[in-house]
Amino acid sequence: MKWLTLLSLLSCLPLCAADSHMSAEERTKVLNWLDESHKEFFASIDGVTDEQWKWKPAPERWSVGETAEHIVLAEAMLFDFVQKAVTAPPNPAWEEQTKGKTEFIVRVMPSRQGKAQAPEPIVPRQGLTRAQVKQRFEKQRAAILKFATDTQVALKEYTADHPFPVFGTLNAYQWLIYVPLHTIRHDKQIAEVKATPGYPN
């Protein structure tokens, strides 16, 4: 009887281990977030005049144009983390190191909790026009959307470290959802700029 119990437990191990693939539900969620954030972003910058694009609520705060440029730069960097993760060797400790972080990202990113200083490579300094922002965004998003739609890679077993210690190690699925959720976060920042007294009519 003891041997039967042991054999039963051993046979369960592969089934009991967490699935490292993106589930159908998870894929649907990320595709919905990509669609939602795309529509919100373009709605937030369409119709913005050159004066409104460059207007800053305060010297140390970003304009609509700077926030939009940051979104484009950040999406490229975040998707680069996805690609770097999946081309590295699988992380056997992925489950332990990334546990609970999907829920954390979903909670803090869209709600604009936990303000942080943007890493230097994605600080907006290029002065991109609205047309340039939209063109780059569309090109980058096409690649991201295709990856999210088509990939069969076991995303969760591939990891890359976030530059902010509060996030630590994230798996490739978490990096992937980070892309649209970060954009949703800054779509709200653009709305805040527009709602600031003094914003040009």
Beta-bridged to residue 161, according to DSSP, are 169
Question: pLDDT band for position 17 (50/70/90)?
Answer: low
Instruction: Give the span between the Cα atoms of 140 and 79, in whole angstroms.
Output: 9
Q: Looking at residue 39, what is its pLDDT?
A: 98
Name which residue leads in pLDDT, 168 or 114: 168
Nearest to 91 by CA among 156, 41, 25, 1: 156
Instruction: Give the span between the Cα atoms of 165 and 144, in whole angstroms.
Output: 25
Beta-bridged to residue 170, according to DSSP, are 160
Q: How far apart are the first and last CA of the chain?
A: 80
Q: 194 burial class (0-12, 13-18, 19+ CB within 10 angstroms)?
A: middle
| Whether residue 79 has pLDDT greater than 80 | yes
pLDDT tens for each residue of 124-151: 999 999 999 999 999 999 999 999 999 9
Residue type, 143: A
Residue with tokens 């440029």: 69
**Rg of the Cα trace of the chain?**
20
Domains, in order of start, for the chain: 22-194 (1.20.120.450)
Instruction: Give the span between the Cα atoms of 131 and 170, in whole angstroms.
Output: 33
The two three-digit tokens of residue 160, written as one number = 């890359």
Q: Looking at residue 18, what is its pLDDT?
A: 82
Instruction: Give the span between the Cα atoms of 198 and 201, in whole angstroms.
Output: 9
| Whether residue 13 has pLDDT greater than 80 | no
pLDDT tens for each residue of 27-62: 999 999 999 999 999 999 999 999 999 999 999 999
Q: Looking at residue 82, what is its pLDDT?
A: 98
Nearest to 164 by CA among 124, 90, 102, 114: 114
Q: State pTM to two decimals.
A: 0.89
